[in-house]
Chain A
């Protein structure tokens, strides 16, 4: 009850310790104050109680509507990742502007705008930040919610999430970093390819926005200057919902509801009529199916096979490894996704992988090994507050959106800050997320090739301030993901190069402070990530977009 009361007083939270809150309350009281009212203090007492008993909600930051800086009329000629011939996609021609069908649609928009209440307008404001932006955010939240390793059975074995029974515990999927990187890549590629197709048809059909065709329709979202058919919002909604339903099948119903909310909100914008949205949604779903066809055959299905682990250990031993990685969990848990290094990369051929694999790490017991182990023992003994902060900030462990999610956020925020159009934002996301997914493949290939033991496996004195992941040590996933993301983002946002490289370095160092990686794991990872991402950069340079 107090929660509802609190919501009615905008700006007031329940934080009795926030000076901002008291200032706001004082301001409200000042405005309510009537000099002659002797009972004023008594009347104001409920406000004081509200302050004390409110539920403290942290409000999500409100984002300005996207006003794209470019319309890119030749966007339909940019090179998609998967669709070979954009013009061959099946999309009906739009009805004439003078047709009674279209006129009826315009009337429906007028009616919807006239009847829009505060919560519908709030919904429009939310989606106006950007379709690609918001669906990537949704994907990150799903990754966070599904990022928990299954509990062991009473007999010490571990159950595996079952895609055929995704809502039974352990829920499918376990959205670990490689899984999340793959989900973000498919989402972004589907969004980008669908938007390239949409741009092609927009500038072929050249149907103006609804508000242009009917002066009685207002722009409730700032005008984009783009032709309306098909709607870019609907294209993104259609593509995103199909991909995310496949990646998070237990969320299918809620995702369809979200997509519907998106479309209904955007109908209020004044940009589109129903046929613009329908054509867009159909196009988006169609493109997503192409991406999902690839997903069914990219190697993920067999990536969890433990027969691979035994094979990899044998091969590593044959190469001279005396102390292969073993699980430090109790009970011991099978290594995570030993076959992820066998997936088909996005930006290069599979046979390039061995060239991206770093050289062998130092032999345990060697001088180079002892040097880095001593560094970790030093951090176990003494970790400064700042070092702990860095370890926590970049940890992105269970319950979080994962390191690929962290860089997904950085990429999306950079695109948003630069006011990039939906198409350009999707290109940023597609190049970044596929580079990060490729980095996952490179990294996992190295991890299970070398089967290198973690520091705390080799020395029981090592203590960690972050969770110890259940897979081999060399190379560091954080370092590889970060090196790749920073490389692509530096190409896309050259003025941010120094900042991005510093962030990647810090993300990499955070694993040393956390004492879960040797320095040589991290240095090799950063290099491998940068090398892996160079192929995404090459793709970006040749895809027809302005550089």
Chain B
């Protein structure tokens, strides 16, 4: 359920696997570019209906797959631009519900290294990030849990702190807030929090999120344990035996592991994670892998 929300967060965080992402403490050097092609597989059969975890034989296991293109470029020594665009498909293993597919949302991030200390052989960095996303296709935003996205335009503000010891062990902490625009659904009446609204405009709860990476970096290798949490700041619960709806208060805590090898040009990234606590979300198991290509431009100068 909320895979849409998932996919937004999914794309932003599980890419702790790629060269650098809006969730980690790495940056592209000036004029360095990384292109990533990533495949993601997100599946659950247990989900939280409000606070209660259940399964539903009428949908079985719900799987979302994504193929995403992502690029990061060092615009200046301190400023990076990151962009991503996924294509997503969904399906249910049981029952007669149709899956959905399509190009989802374009995300653009600016990552600015505010602060950079290197006491001894340690490193301490602080980043400020701003991100925007918007749907690129006119997909259906409220056919949950099968829709490929929730249809909001979003704006995110985030801070990332990265601390690394000389041996390569590092800790990255991140906290952020996402504002989401209202969406327009096909129906012109819906229920929210026990009240019936006669409009097709649906208010979307904003999101608070945070996470941590505890890992090791040396040369071309990066590996880490990941911990992530997001929560909607308002919203209602899925009603008993009902379908989820974009107004739901979605919340998930995820633990995982990632690894990456980045050579001079080619690289590979892998990640796996599992939602272990949540509300109005599926207890997703997420797998991701991808190819990376790193290069410089305008090096002749």
A residues near B, CB below 8 A?
14-18, 52, 55-58, 60-61, 137, 140-141, 144-145, 148-151, 169, 328-331, 380, 383, 385, 388-389, 392-393, 395, 398-401, 406, 409, 456, 462-465, 467-468, 515
B47 beta carbon closer than 8 Å to chain A:
no
Q: Is the interface of A mostly helix, strand, loop or mixed?
A: loop
B residues near A, CB below 8 A?
57-58, 94-99, 138, 140, 142-143, 153, 155, 179, 181-182, 185-191, 194-199, 201-204, 206, 234, 239-243, 245
Complex contacts, A383 vs chain B, CB 8 Å = 98
In the assembled complex, 26 residue pairs joining A and B whose CB atoms fall closer than 8 Å, in A order, are A14-B206, A15-B181, A15-B203, A17-B179, A55-B203, A56-B203, A56-B204, A60-B197, A61-B198, A140-B196, A144-B189, A144-B191, A145-B194, A148-B239, A148-B240, A148-B242, A330-B57, A331-B57, A380-B98, A393-B187, A398-B243, A400-B187, A401-B196, A464-B97, A465-B143, A467-B243
A-B contacts at CB below 8 angstroms, number: 109
Bound state CA distance, A52 and B179, in angstroms? 8
Please tell me if the beta carbons of B189 and A401 are within 8 angstroms of each other in the complex: yes
Please tell me if the beta carbons of A58 and B201 are within 8 angstroms of each other in the complex: yes
Please tell me if the beta carbons of B185 and A392 are within 8 angstroms of each other in the complex: yes
Please tell me if the beta carbons of B58 and A329 are within 8 angstroms of each other in the complex: yes
Complex contacts, A17 vs chain B, CB 8 Å = 153, 155, 179, 181-182
Please tell me if the beta carbons of A144 and B196 are within 8 angstroms of each other in the complex: yes
CB proximity of A455 to chain B, nearest CB, Å = 9
Closest B residue to A51 by CB, please name it: B179
Please tell me if the beta carbons of A399 and B96 are within 8 angstroms of each other in the complex: no
Complex contacts, A169 vs chain B, CB 8 Å = 240
Please tell me if the beta carbons of B203 and A462 are within 8 angstroms of each other in the complex: no
CB proximity of B24 to chain A, nearest CB, Å = 26
Closest A residue to B153 by CB, please name it: A17
Known: A16-B179, A58-B202, A464-B98. 13 other contacts (CB 8 A): A14-B206, A15-B203, A18-B182, A61-B198, A61-B199, A145-B191, A330-B57, A330-B95, A388-B140, A398-B243, A409-B189, A463-B98, A465-B140
Bound state CA distance, A463 and B143, in angstroms? 14
Bound state CA distance, A378 and B196, in angstroms? 35
Contact for B96 among A144, A328, A393, A401, CB less than 8 A: A328
Complex contacts, A463 vs chain B, CB 8 Å = 96-99
Complex contacts, B191 vs chain A, CB 8 Å = 144-145, 399-400
6 shortest A-B CB distances, which residue pairs?
A17-B181, A330-B57, A463-B98, A392-B186, A56-B203, A456-B96
Bound state CA distance, A50 and B32, in angstroms? 40
Please tell me if the beta carbons of B186 and A388 are within 8 angstroms of each other in the complex: yes
Bound state CA distance, A56 and B199, in angstroms? 14
Bound state CA distance, A140 and B195, in angstroms? 10
Bound state CA distance, A61 and B199, in angstroms? 9
CB proximity of A98 to chain B, nearest CB, Å = 47
Contact for A141 among B97, B195, B243, CB less than 8 A: B195
